[in-house]
Structure 1
Amino acid sequence: MSGSAIVTLTVNPALDVTVDADHVQPTDKIRCRAVRYDAGGGGVNVARFVHALGVPVSAVFTAGGPTGAHVVALIDDSEVPSLPITVSGHTRQSLTVNECATGRQYRFVLPGPALTPEEQIRCLDVLKDAAGSAGYVVASGSLPPGVRPDFYQQVADICGQRGARLILDTSGGGLAHISSGVFMLKPSLRELRECVGRPLLTEVEQTTAARELIDRGVAEMVVVSLGAEGALLVTARSSHRYAAIDVPSVSGVGAGDAMVAGIVVGLSRAWPVPVAVRYGIATATAKLQTPGTSAFVRSDVDGYFDGYFDGVDTEGTVDAKGTAVRPVRSR
């Protein structure tokens, strides 16, 4: 496999299963239809979405059992270059049920297989080789059972040694045990709340919490995804609040991963960080309109991105073609 501008790492991938059902209720059998299978897990999704945006990417991920083989086959079908790491346990499944009567979406996420110490070391060794030719490494997703809580710190250390910038999107223990070496941390608001142990009800509180992580040396910058409220970019000296783009949603699954994909693509194109975050929001918007965790059409992303600049404070940024427009306001 040749070198890639971007490498993703997924320690706990999933076979994403998406179905439709008329009603979801206890006790009764729920008859499902429109079954869809996608290769999933944070970094796997990011890799597929980066590939859809036309940027070289390689996916490093674990795979075990029949579900792991299915994930490998799906990634091969998507033509994303990959380095699957065989493990003894079975890759997990993740089930999303769309309730047609109400429009609600139910998501059932399994914990994943326990990884042995030897399998964890193999993941780090493969990443070390892959990161040597990467400008950015995206480590995304939960840690499966048995993995050391400081695993992502080891990933950060490897990226530092190999000269790659790390973008980290995780939660729980994987987030709590990071102490240094992250270029960009991308928690959701819920994940940031859990990390600092406070409700973070206002933007000021959210900015303060993100800056605490920066001041501690955990990350150079933090992007907090706020769902329908957009996103918040916080650096040591400034913050930027971004509105979401209002569109009808088919599925919210994978939208956060799409946001990360758009951001890292923008960064790989040497765009300013505020512009890359806008591109991430445009990518997430396009993802909202596709079923399951399927990829989007690149032209839709560029259309949302260019449209984002109409009537907003955008001095000093560029559009999807790299044309300069007006600057983003900071405060």
Structure 2
Amino acid sequence: MSRRIVTLTLNPTVDVASEAEMVRAVRKTRTRNERFDPGGGGVNVSRVVRELGGETLAIILAGGIAGSLLEQLLEQQGVPRRSIPIAGRTRMSLTVNDLSSRHEFRFVPEGPEVSEAEWRAALAALEQEPGDWIVASGSLPRGVPDDIYVTAARMAARQGRKYVLDTSGAPLRAALGQGLTLIKPSRGEFEALVGRPLNTPRALNEAALALVREGAAELIAVSLGHEGALLAEPEGVLRLRALDVPALGAVGAGDSFLAAMVLKLSEGESPREAFAWGMAAGAAAVMRPGTAQPRRADVEALRRQIGSV
């Protein structure tokens, strides 16, 4: 085995980002400063792991012209990949930053329909590729069963590999208790998971700690937006405040958080230290436009700013 972090992205995307003076109904919205980034949960994790000096491989499903563009963009960024060809077309997402309101508008297609042969080929690639850590991240495209992440978790357990899952809804619920090392829901995703609103810090802390102690996952990190994030481990809960940074783009900030946290865990750091690095990477991603664009120097500087945990 190797310290390589292997990511699985079953519904990747080409992320198109631009800005406009004002987004208005009916009238043409002219945009500028367009950029194209490879996207999707696991893809973003691999990109950030590489930026931070780690070894990674992105396993993706790719089809059509957008799939070819996704592969080209990954090659340009030097991100190792293994592509599983599909008959459908890889999706393209659009983010427009409205300069007048400072609101960010995101348009995210559901993606292609994937055949059983195609998703099984992705699982086979995951089983074949060496790496001590697996990160399965993102939504499922049509045609993929909700329990696919359970199948991947059981495979990882057989091989003695660490397994991290970042998804939501039924696929996340199905995978709880299947040997997960870490899950990273947002606050809304976590409330949906436990089936009730969690309106106070104490309620959030207690719910996350209860799931960890019940064996749902070894670690649970819940992102809380402007309130920061929490980390639940069997010994207790750590909360860190959001760092005060200029916000130029939020797409991929959560994936950046996860990438840094997993990288530091893979290097033998404690969960709390890894959590602090995750906070730094998430904040560094917000500082730059586009999808998951933290710079290593920014991440390191922000980690020093957090101080001791």
Q: C-alpha offsets along residues 123-164 of structure 1, whole Å, 9 cap, x if unaligned?
A: 11000011xx31211111111111101111111111111211
What's the counterpart of residue 282 of structure 1? 280
Is 1:116 the counterpart of 2:115? The answer is: yes
Q: Secondary structure at the match of 1:48?
A: helix
What's the counterpart of residue 161 of structure 2? 164
Q: C-alpha offsets along residues 164-223 of structure 1, whole Å, 9 cap, x if unaligned?
A: 111111112221221322101111101101111211111221122223432443211100
1:194-233 map, 5 Å: 194-233=192-231
Superposed CA RMSD in Å reads: 1.4
What's the counterpart of residue 174 of structure 1? 171
Q: Retained in 2: the 8 A contact 1:167–1:183?
A: yes
- The CA deviation at 1:300 is 1.1
What's the counterpart of residue 27 of structure 1? 26
Q: Retained in 1: the 8 A contact 2:209–2:237?
A: no
Is 1:260 the counterpart of 2:258? The answer is: yes
Matched AA of 1:270: G
**Gapped runs of 5+ residues in structure 2?**
none
Matched AA of 2:57: S
Q: Retained in 2: the 8 A contact 1:16–1:38?
A: yes
Matched AA of 2:77: S
- The CA deviation at 1:88 is 0.9
Distance in 1, matches of 2:238 and 2:292, equals 30
Q: Secondary structure at the match of 1:293?
A: coil
Distance in 1, matches of 2:138 and 2:224, equals 18
What's the counterpart of residue 65 of structure 1? 64
Distance in 1, matches of 2:273 and 2:193, equals 27
Q: Retained in 2: the 8 A contact 1:251–1:292?
A: yes
Q: Secondary structure at the match of 2:60?
A: strand
What's the counterpart of residue 41 of structure 2? 42
Matched AA of 2:255: D
Q: C-alpha offsets along residues 277-311 of structure 1, whole Å, 9 cap, x if unaligned?
A: 000111111111111115232111111101211xx
Distance in 2, matches of 1:97 and 1:36, equals 11
Q: Secondary structure at the match of 1:182?
A: coil
What's the counterpart of residue 132 of structure 2? 135
Q: Retained in 2: the 8 A contact 1:20–1:35?
A: yes
Is 1:153 the counterpart of 2:150? The answer is: yes
Matched AA of 2:183: L
Distance in 2, matches of 1:30 and 1:68, equals 27
Give the paired residue count: 308
Identity %: 40
What's the counterpart of residue 87 of structure 1? 86
**Gapped runs of 5+ residues in structure 1?**
315-327
Match for residue 248 of structure 1 among 246, 262, 277: 246
Using structure 2 for the length normalisation, give the TM-score. Answer: 0.96
* 4+ runs deviating over 4 angstroms: none
Matched AA of 1:300: D
